Structure 1
Amino acid sequence: MTAFYLLAGFNHFINPEFYLPLIPPFFSNPEKINVLSGITEIILAIGILFYPSRKYAAYSIILMLIAFIPSHVYFIQIGSCINDGLCVPEWIGWIRLLLIHPVLIYWAYCVGNSSS
């Protein structure tokens, strides 16, 4: 889980053009949201490494994933296609929202409740 969220977090800085169009237009300052998302993912990924902070980090990842739901809904609303960017069949957008996202939430829950 640490590697997953470290890579995702750093990718917000390496490829911001991937994330910026996924931020719904009703949110102001998408650049700031992108940077804060990247920083949050990196910090929480590191928090997962250490037992004293693991539960807090995992539950914070769950909250972060819930906060990302508007972006997934927005992506579906725009037809699961960003001009000059990510473009997939709409059913993949639904799979991402209804299957993959809950699996990520469950994974974080399991990590947060692990004793090792």
Structure 2
Amino acid sequence: MLPWHQYLMGVLFVLAGMNHFRKPKIYERILPPYIPAHGTMVMLSGVAEMILGFMIMNKNTQVEAAWGIIILLIIFIPVHIYMLQNEKAAMKLPKWALILRLPLQFALMYWAYLYT
């Protein structure tokens, strides 16, 4: 049996990935302009989050999933920086919340690393 917090991480990633399909426009708005095919990228990242979320909840695939989550979170860092730089992408979030998201990425990476 896996620890409860590993299931929590999996469920959070599955739900986050599902949200990419429920509200794709939100995610398209936060993508920097140099990233091509915003709609496709939002869907691909949503699928990746869901797959990795399910994989982290499986003992046989947890290590691969953990490294995949870490890589995905690294790939998402430019999005968080873009949200800090662009008022439209910031979605009216306070600056402190946008700043806090960057260390949160690293905390999530550490959390995933616990399962490698």
Q: Which category of TM-score, normalised to the shorter sequence, fits these structures?
A: 0.7 to 0.9
Q: State how far apart, in whole Å, the 2-side matches of 1:2 and 1:89 are.
A: 28
2:107 corresponds to: 103
**Unmatched runs of 5 consecutive residues or more in structure 2:** 1-8
Matches within 5 A, 1:5-16: 5-16=13-24
1:29 corresponds to: 37
Correspondent of 2:93 among 88, 94, 102: 88
After superposing on structure 2, the runs of 4+ consecutive aligned residues of structure 1 that deviate more than 3 Å are none
**Unmatched runs of 5 consecutive residues or more in structure 1:** none
Once the two structures are superposed, residues 36-79 of structure 1 have per-residue CA deviations (whole angstroms, 9 ceiling, x without a partner) of 00000010011011111001001100000000011000000114
CA RMSD of aligned residues (A): 1.3
Q: State how far apart, in whole Å, the 2-side matches of 1:18 and 1:51 are.
A: 33
Q: Does 1:47 align with 2:55?
A: yes
Q: TM (normalized to structure 1)?
A: 0.88
Once the two structures are superposed, residues 72-105 of structure 1 have per-residue CA deviations (whole angstroms, 9 ceiling, x without a partner) of 00000114x54xx8211212111111x2111111
- Identity level (%): 36
Q: State how far apart, in whole Å, the 2-side matches of 1:54 and 1:88 are.
A: 33
Q: State how far apart, in whole Å, the 1-side matches of 2:64 and 2:96 are.
A: 33
